[in-house]
Structure formats: structure tokens, C-alpha cells
């Protein structure tokens, strides 16, 4: 059986916490990002401004980065145009601050710290493909986090996660692979013109297939594709479903 697992199930992530990191940049490097409303407490006006920028620039800046249409350097340059008050800073320092803020909420908690280990155990018997709508900066942060938390694993020393057009899984451990939106040029659950990432990967893998995700859109897509098992992430990790349990779903 082949496993397709949403990469984001292996760690914690909060858009509010990421926004908070950018708010701190505003607090430290600008008088106020929302100077037209001086009566409000600065932290709240900056938060409102940051969230407005996220929604306003998602299609033009963030989505192209997730689809591999622009480089990480170009993405950071685009962010610096949004956070215009940082343009008088040294470029390398500015980009470091923006990159750290962008991936700041990628962490492990008591709920997620053992999840990746369970997937590695699963990979002893069958391949595990970690799929994600993501970007190079976040994948760097995720891999670093997982490697620090699992130093004894046989990590592939030649792993290349750079932004290139390649519809080939990236090996990170024996029988564990990354399938990333920015490499395939499509999102895992949907796309307007081509096969979705999940659909493409599924077609390349013969035999029984299991999908594990926390997102309803992924689960819906898995059911539409007729995958053998479509499991909610909490159900999968908390029950430690064994192969014999999975066979009941086949």
C-alpha cells in the first residue's frame, strides 16, 4: 500500500502566529503600517494591515511562489516591496528577517512531535509520499525541524528542494519522498488546467493507496479519485492504525 500524507500534518503551523511575526517587524521598523488610524494601539493597527496585505497579495505574490513560478529571491524582493519601510536596510539582513518571519510558526508540539517517526515506521513496509501546497522557504524550515528532532534517521545528504520544474518525488529518507506544489506546478487538491498534484501522484503509483490529511478539500479529492483509504489526520495518528486495520478499509 502506498501512503499519501499531507506534509503539514507532521508539524504545527498558525497563520495568526506568522502574521504576528510580521507585526513585530512593523512594530520594530516602522512608526505604524496603518498611519491613517493613529487612534488605535499600534500592535492592532499593524496586525490589521498585515492581514490585509496577506489577502490582497495572495494571488499575485504568494500563490505564484507556491506554484514555483518565481524564485525565493524574487519572493523576498516582493515581500520587501510590501514592507516598504525595510528598503533602507541591508538587503541580506532584510531578507533574513522576512524569511524568518515567513516560516516562524513552523514548530513541533506534544501533539505533532512524534508524528513523523510514525510515518518513518510505516515507510519500513511501504512508500510514504509527503504532499504539500508549499514553498521553498517553508520546506527548508520543515526539513530542518524534522532533522533536528530525528537526528538518528538516515537522512538523504543530497536532498535538493530548490525551485525547478520537476515532476519527480524528492527522496529524503528510505521510502519517504516529498511531492511539492512548487516542483509540480499544481496544488494537491485542485487545479484549473492540469491534473492536481494528488491526482498526478496517484496515477504514478499502482496498487492500494491511502490518503492522510486534516483538510476537507484533500479528503474530498481522495474520495473522488477512489483511493482505498481516505483518513483524517487525527484519526490516523491518534489511533496508530496498523496495516491490519487499514486492510478493513480496502
Strand partners, 132: 180
The C-alpha cell that represents 114 in the structure block = 512524534
Tell me the residue length of the chain.
250
**Residue ranges matching CATH 3.40.50.1000 in the chain:** 2-11+107-247
> Which pLDDT score is estimated for 33?
59
> Which pLDDT score is estimated for 46?
87
> Which pLDDT score is estimated for 203?
95
The C-alpha cell that represents 41 in the structure block = 494601539
Task: Give phi and psi for 63, each to the nearest 5.
Answer: -60, -45
Residue 4, helix vs strand vs coil: strand
> Which pLDDT score is estimated for 190?
81
Nearest Cα neighbor of 172 from 5, 26, 48 is 5
> Which pLDDT score is estimated for 39?
37
Contact by Cβ (8 Å): 183, 201? no
Task: Give phi and psi for 133, each to the nearest 5.
Answer: -85, 100
**Highest CATH level, class, for 2-11+107-247:** alpha beta
The C-alpha cell that represents 127 in the structure block = 512508500
* Portion of the chain with pLDDT greater than 90, in percent: 82
CA terminus-to-terminus distance, the chain: 10
Separation in Å, CA 39 to CA 22, 28, 34, 43, 85? 21, 19, 10, 12, 21
d(CA 4, CA 233): 11
The C-alpha cell that represents 174 in the structure block = 528510505
> Which pLDDT score is estimated for 247?
43
Tell me the pLDDT tens digit for each residue of 68-117: 999 999 999 999 999 999 988 999 999 999 999 999 999 999 999 999 99
Residue 218, helix vs strand vs coil: helix
d(CA 142, CA 137): 9
Residues of the chain with pLDDT under 70: 31-43, 192-194, 240-250
Amino acid at each position: 500500500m502506498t501512503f499519501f500524507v499531507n506534509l503539514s500534518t507532521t508539524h504545527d503551523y498558525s497563520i495568526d502566529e506568522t502574521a504576528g511575526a510580521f507585526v513585530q517587524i512593523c512594530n520594530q521598523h516602522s512608526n505604524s503600517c496603518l498611519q491613517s488610524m493613529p487612534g488605535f494601539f499600534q500592535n492592532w493597527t499593524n496586525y490589521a494591515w498585515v492581514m490585509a496585505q496577506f489577502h490582497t497579495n495572495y494571488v499575485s505574490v504568494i500563490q505564484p511562489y507556491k506554484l514555483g513560478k518565481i524564485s525565493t529571491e524574487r519572493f523576498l524582493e516582493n515581500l520587501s516591496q510590501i514592507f516598504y519601510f525595510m528598503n533602507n536596510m541591508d538587503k541580506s539582513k532584510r531578507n533574513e528577517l522576512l524569511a524568518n518571519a515567513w516560516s516562524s510558526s513552523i514548530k513541533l508540539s506534544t501533539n505533532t512531535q512524534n508524528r513523523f517517526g510514525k510515518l518513518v515506521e510505516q515507510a519500513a513496509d511501504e512508500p510514504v509520499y509527503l504532499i504539500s501546497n508549499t514553498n521553498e522557504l517553508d520546506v527548508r524550515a520543515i526539513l530542518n525541524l524534522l532533522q533536528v528532532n530525528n537526528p538518528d534517521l538516515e537522512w538523504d545528504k543530497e536532498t535538493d528542494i530548490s525551485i525547478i520544474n520537476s515532476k519527480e518525488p524528492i527522496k529524503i529518507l528510505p521510502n519517504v519522498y516529498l511531492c511539492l506544489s512548487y516542483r509540480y506546478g499544481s496544488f494537491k487538491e485542485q487545479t484549473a488546467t492540469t491534473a492536481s498534484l494528488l491526482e498526478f501522484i496517484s496515477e504514478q503509483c499502482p496498487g492500494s493507496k491511502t490518503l492522510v490529511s486534516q483538510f476537507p478539500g484533500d479528503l474530498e479529492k481522495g474520495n473522488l479519485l477512489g483511493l482505498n483509504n481516505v483518513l483524517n489526520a487525527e484519526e490516523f495518528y491518534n489511533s496508530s492504525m496498523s496495516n491490519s486495520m487499514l486492510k478493513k478499509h480496502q
